[in-house]
Amino acid sequence: MEDTLFSDQIGPLRNNIDRIDSQILTLLAKRQEQVEQVAALKKQCDMPVYHPAREEDMISRLRTRAREKGLDPDVTENLFRVIIRQSRVKQTFSMQYKGVRSGAAVLIIGGAGQMGAMFASLFEKSGYRVRILTESDWEAAPRLCEGIDLALVSVPIEHTVAVIEKIAPFLPAGALLADLTSVKKDPVAAMYKNHTGPVLGLHPLFGPTTSSLDKQIIVYTPGRDMTAGHWLVEQLGLWGAIPVHAAPVEHDEIMEIVQALRHFATFCFGRFLFEKQVKIQRTLEFSSPIYRLELGMVGRLFAQDAGLYAQIIFATKERRQLLKQFAASLTQHIEMLENKDISAFTRQFDEIAEWFGPFSDQALRESTFLIDRLIERF
Ranges within 299-358 binding its own copies (CB under 8 A): 299-300, 302-304, 306-307, 309-310, 313-314, 320, 322-327, 329-331, 333-334, 337-338, 340, 342, 345-346, 348-353, 355-356
Residue from 25, 140, 162, 249 touching its own copies (CB under 8 A): that is 25
* C-alpha of 358 from chain center: 22
Question: What pairing do the DSSP bridges indicate for beta strands 217-224 and 242-245?
Answer: parallel
Alpha carbons 76 and 339: distance in angstroms, whole number: 49
Nearer to its own copies, 124 or 294 (CB): 294
Q: Using alpha carbons only, what angle is made at residue 146 by residues 248 and 165, rounded to the nearest 5 degrees?
A: 35
135 contributes a contact to its own copies by CB under 8 A: no
Size of the site for its own copies (CB under 8 A): 155
Exposed / middle / buried, residue 116 (Cβ in 10 Å: 0-12, 13-18, 19+): buried
Cα separation of the two ends of the chain: 38
18 contributes a contact to its own copies by CB under 8 A: yes
Ranges within 170-199 binding its own copies (CB under 8 A): none
Binding segment for its own copies (CB under 8 A), chosen from 67-75, 102-110, 123-131, 227-235, is 67-75
Phi-psi region of 340 (alpha: psi -120 to 50; beta: other; left: phi over 0): left
Amino acid at 346: T
Binding segment for its own copies (CB under 8 A), chosen from 45-53, 98-106, 116-124, 184-192, is 45-53
CA-to-CA dists, residue 164 to 78, 157, 186, 188, 230, angstroms: 46, 11, 11, 10, 20
52 contributes a contact to its own copies by CB under 8 A: no
E-only strand ranges, 32-139: 105-109, 129-133
Binding segment for its own copies (CB under 8 A), chosen from 30-38, 102-110, 129-137, 170-178, is 30-38
Ranges within 230-289 binding its own copies (CB under 8 A): 244, 246, 251, 254-255, 257-258, 261-262, 264-276, 278, 280-283, 285-289
SS3 131: strand
93 contributes a contact to its own copies by CB under 8 A: no
Shortest Cβ 289–its own copies spacing (Å): 8
**Taking a C-beta distance cutoff of 8 angstroms, is the pair 311, 157 a contact?**
yes
Shortest Cβ 47–its own copies spacing (Å): 6
Shortest Cβ 351–its own copies spacing (Å): 7
